[in-house]
Amino acid sequence: MIVTILFSLLAIVTLPFSLGFVIAGYLLALIVGFIAMLVTVDMANDAANQQIPNLGKSLNAVTSRFGVLLVAAIIAALCAITVILIPVALFIVTIAVVDQTGAGESTSKAFSFVLKNLGEVIVFFIIVIVIDIIFGFVFAVIPVIGWFLGAVFQWLSVVVFTVASVHFYRDLRRATPPPPPPPPPPPA
C-alpha cells in the first residue's frame, strides 16, 4: 500500500513521467504485496499451531521457496481466470505454504479440499466477495480521499481474508475424518 501511494505521489509531482512511475509503482507493489501475503499465510499458520508468529522466520520460509510459491500463484491465477475455479484458486497458495507442498501437489489438494467442502467453500467465497464489493462501493463514493481509503481497505481485507483462509483450511481439513482402517484378513 505504501509503495503504491509513494509512486502515485511521484507520478503527480513528475507529470511528464507519471505513467512510468505509476507502472513501476504498481509492479513493485504487486511483488511486495505477493511476498507480504505469503508471509501472512505462514505467520497465520504459526499462530494456528500455537507458535509465536515470527516475521523473520516467515520471510525466510517464503523466500527460500519463492520459485515454487510463484508457480503455485501462477496456477492459481490461471484458475481464477476461468471464474468457476476461483474457489480453488483461493486455496492453492494457502495450501502450498501451510502444507509446504509443491505447486502441483497444492493444486491437487486445493481441488480435493474444495470438492470435499464445496458448500462451506462457496459460502466463504460469497462472504469475501460481498464484503469486498460493499466496502469498495462505500469508499468509491467518498470524494477526494475515497481512493486512498479504498486502497487501505483493500490491503487490510487481503490480510483478513488471507488469515481467514488459513484457519478455514486448517479447520475443515482437520474436520475430515481419517479413512477407516482396512478390514482384517479372512481367517485361514
- The pLDDT tens digits for 22-74 are 677 777 777 887 888 889 999 999 999 999 999 999 999 999 999 999 999 99
Exposed/middle/buried for 113, CB within 10 Å: 0-12, 13-18, 19+? Answer: buried
**Residue spans per domain, the chain:** 2-175
Using an 8 Å Cβ cutoff, are 23 and 4 in contact? no
Confidence category of residue 5, pLDDT binned at 50, 70, 90: low
Query: How remote is the C-alpha of 114 from its chain's centroid?
Result: 15
Whole-structure pTM value: 0.74
Percent of the chain with pLDDT over 70: 84
Confidence category of residue 120, pLDDT binned at 50, 70, 90: very high
